[in-house]
Amino acid sequence: MTQQLDALGISFQRIDALDARNLSDCELGRHFRDDGPLGAIPKGDKCCALSHARAWRALTESEDPYGLILEDDVAIEASAAPLLHRSDWIPPSVHLVKIERYGPPGQRVLIDERVPVGNGRKIGRLRSRHTGAAAYILSRHTAKTLLSTIGTWTLPVDHLLFNPNNSPVANALRPHQMIPAIARQSQLLGGCTDIGEWRAMLREFSLSYARREIVRAYFELRLLPSQIARWLRQESTLVRVDEPASIHSRSILRANRRLPGSRSA
């Protein structure tokens, strides 16, 4: 990893993730509530969220205006590296930028307020769900804000940040999406996630499971009328997140890393 990051000219700080096998439910429970729109949060997802919080805290303790957070199975397009050496392309009003594509190839999202940022890319305010939190940039101010909300979380970290359908936090933070995205998760790089085993425990069919799925469906659909209206009024545009681009193995960055330096993101 050091060799790969050095090849891109990027310094980094590795943040150790929390291991769900080493923490009690009681210890984790004080940071989360289980009455959210998706029901109880799996233990692995709770540890994932708190691992991100460790990276946010490292950013708040630095002098850096922005930090780039990467999980341990992320490939970043090498040609986009210049954007990761600077932060002057980020508008002052933007404090959270998702730089990955999550989901199937051709994934589309609803965005508006598009702004060119260089290197053939734009960012736009995210108006629909686009989960995954493997690669994003946030400001130090936003990191402080997020840390102040620990204890009230009712969602996994990716929904918390990037799902306006069910997250008041996402609506308040006004996250932006980079188009085309410069990063993606890949099982070929990081293997299968071990969070899945904790999720499986909550997916066994039961009355509570059925109720949770009904509530989930409601939150997925509740903004659909307003989203369609925005599209019809041409206030927002449905765009493909990943226009065809080559993602090279030499540009893989991993493991919840923050890029230090006053001009870094």
How is the chain split into domains, by residue range? Answer: 2-258
pLDDT in tens, 76-117: 888 888 898 889 999 999 999 999 999 888 889 999 989 999
For 265, the token pair is: 């993101």
Position of tokens 């060119």?
A: 116
Residue 37 binned pLDDT confidence (cut-offs 50, 70, 90):
confident
CA 212 to CA 42: how far, in whole Å?
13
Q: Is the pLDDT assigned to residue 198 strictly greater than 70?
A: no
Give the orientation angle of helix 140-148 with respect to helix 43-60, to 10 degrees. 130
Predicted TM-score (pTM) of this structure:
0.83
For 63, the token pair is: 């002098």
Relative to beta strand 252-253, strand 74-76 is antiparallel
pLDDT in tens, 157-194: 999 999 999 999 999 999 999 999 998 887 665 556 66
